[in-house]
Copies of this chain bind each other. A is one copy, B any other.
């Protein structure tokens, strides 16, 4: 337990809090900032002046409001001047985006790839090329203040080592450090689990905006989980928390890639669904789409397979409701389609197997950000440093 902050720490924190409001809302009047932060207008003026001098925000008169009196200046993020690079390593694609302060996506690209093992060196070479091309297209004078990567596997929080990425065959790959060296921007590349970052993205800019207790389930080949509890991402002791896909819902059930049986992802995920229809072409999202479409046309095998997946998904969600008492559960990636086609089964299981008090306020929703939730979350991760100590980061970045 440390003492309360010093005056310098307080100034830094106030700058950070103000910049977070501007980053989140896009444009906020000084009057609103003063009210939200509980500070007087002259303190707000001093803070916005510092941020403007550092090139992080601009101040301008608001549009015509029709009200009398002198209008309060509006503070806006300088999205084209201050940006991050976000990258996403999925089971079947690599994606990249340049995202400006304030959250606007300035540029975006992706490349698909066949599923299966994927050599780390190849991935890093491809990501570096994508990132460099984006940085080269940035406005002259613009500053990159962070690089964040979403990865489809277990990532050690402290150093970005990928401990386990079963769907692309990685074990103990020093991904963060190698990316940092290869990009050579003078910035540490931060890496997070894709579902954790999807949860952050849906909470910051998606269907769960402002929800303090939210669970995000991301389906691609497997099912990843991101858990926000008391407003904070649940990382656990080393950052591996949230492996909801490997909660066993059906002991002795279908073989899972992790070596266990009956895991949620083996029963309710894409592979389980495709196998249950008897198809021999497990080609991912396309197959899921075909199964959903067949079911909607009345195909019995497709409908039964979806209902079966929905039953197991319902068991899993019921357990999560009892364990977490969340306000919202969000289905993302390919789980959006699976959930939408089996919502009756999911909801019925949740109603039967979760405790009334724990479930009465929970909302089940599909992702608002679609497949880009992890990518948007990677951008938010990359903004962490500048939103914690705005002036320090910008000074450092400009120098490099």
Contacts and interface: CB of A to CB of B under 8 A. Distances in A.
A68 interface: no
A144 B99 CA distance: 55
A7 to B, nearest CB: 9
Given A39-B3, A230-B234, A244-B322, A356 B164 contact: yes
A355 B240 contact: yes
A229 interface: yes
Interface residues on A, range: 35 or more
Contact of A243 (B163, B227, B327, B355): B355
Contacts of A325: 235-243
Contact of A2 (B2, B17, B237): B17
Contacts of A250: 251
Interface stretch (A8-16, A103-111, A377-385): A8-16
Contacts of A324: 234, 236, 241
A182 to B, nearest CB: 24
A251 B249 CA distance: 8
A20 interface: yes
Nearest to A37: B3
Nearest to A161: B357
A352 interface: yes
A319 B247 contact: yes
Nearest to A157: B325
Contacts of A133: none
B17 A243 contact: no
Interface string A216-259: 00000000010101101011111111111011111100000011
Given A9-B4, A38-B3, A315-B251, A234 B229 contact: yes
Contacts of A39: 3
A152 to B, nearest CB: 14
Given A4-B9, A241-B325, A246-B355, 5 more contacts: A3-B39, A230-B234, A236-B326, A238-B357, A243-B322
Interface of A: 1-5, 9-11, 13-14, 17, 20-21, 36-39, 154, 156, 163-164, 212-213, 225, 227, 229-230, 232, 234-244, 246-251, 258-260, 315, 318-319, 322-327, 352-358, 361-362
28 contacts: A1-B17, A1-B20, A1-B36, A2-B17, A2-B38, A3-B37, A4-B10, A154-B358, A156-B357, A163-B356, A164-B355, A164-B356, A225-B323, A227-B323, A229-B230, A230-B230, A230-B235, A236-B325, A237-B362, A238-B361, A240-B355, A240-B357, A243-B325, A243-B358, A248-B315, A251-B315, A260-B353, A319-B319
